[in-house]
Chains A and B, each alone.
Chain A
Amino acid sequence: MLRWIIWRDLMLSWRRRADVLSTLFFFVIVASLFPLGIGPETELLRSIAPGVVWVAALLASMLSLGRVFANDFQDGTLEQLLLTPQPLFLVVAGKVFAQWLTSEVPLVLIAPLLGLQLGLSKQTLVVLVISLLLGTPVLSLIGSIGAALTLGLRSSSVLIAILVLPLYIPVLIFGAGAVQASVLGFDPQPHLYLLGAVLVLSLIFSPWATAAALKISVE
């Protein structure tokens, strides 16, 4: 049953691939604005690169979060998903996984390009990708709580940002910290372990929270 939910959401994103692409372009454009605002000095860019790429990733994933449940809510398919004979947190987990695959993985794939633009070394690019691979699922998981809470509200997209961005801070600190450590020639592993720990915690807790929030919002 779970695989049908994933299949369904992947299919839907494929039919609406423009949405996925626009998130990706947003990510690239935001990250490209920083050199224009700050100046082209390689040293400076290299030192801000970890933060820039990570903050851009946070903002880009905010954009796609609004869509996780809102479309299904509008056409009534969300109700139908709530009424399927399987635990709701599994439905949520399936949807979040599909969202991660379609909206976050493309960001991870294009991030090395942005890293190159900002003058990161090959070694650091690897750390960047690993940190994003560990961190972006957390963004999807925590973000889905915000998306579920704000379902059907006016100005929900701004509200999601207000609710979710503060909760993203640990991911930002550990994720950008890993890359920063690598830039400075330190060992990025402690950061990555912490990021992994945050991932495990959010895997355990957030599907439940999202399921609870969905039930509240659909009533």
Chain B
Amino acid sequence: MSGGAGVYGEAGAGPDNPPVVVLISADPRTSHRANEALRIGLGITAGDNEVCFVLTGPAAHLLDGDTDDLVDGDDIARFRANVKELGVPFHVEKTAIPDDPDWNAEGHEVIPVTHERIAELVRQGRRFLVF
């Protein structure tokens, strides 16, 4: 357990804690914020927290096979590879998954989810980061 901010108290972390939900709807084709959200979520995951990534709408393009057309595409490729190494799945809004056969060419674990399921995931979280 790290203590860089010196704030540990009654709400301390632990493996039994509910996840931090990182919900991304920013479009990585037009905004750097989708990549930033991925980076932040990855950083939180590295701190021994369970993180639940939820991609809605155009954020599903974070898993595009070709990252050349994405803002900060090289970073996205690197960060999502790290997410894959950690075995953290992406919950992706079912209706937002692109038809492109090259989508998720790297074979990241993807869990297609409905709007109702996304609402459940959010209810189960203890902290929320929405981009």
To the question of whether A and B form a pair in one complex, the answer is no
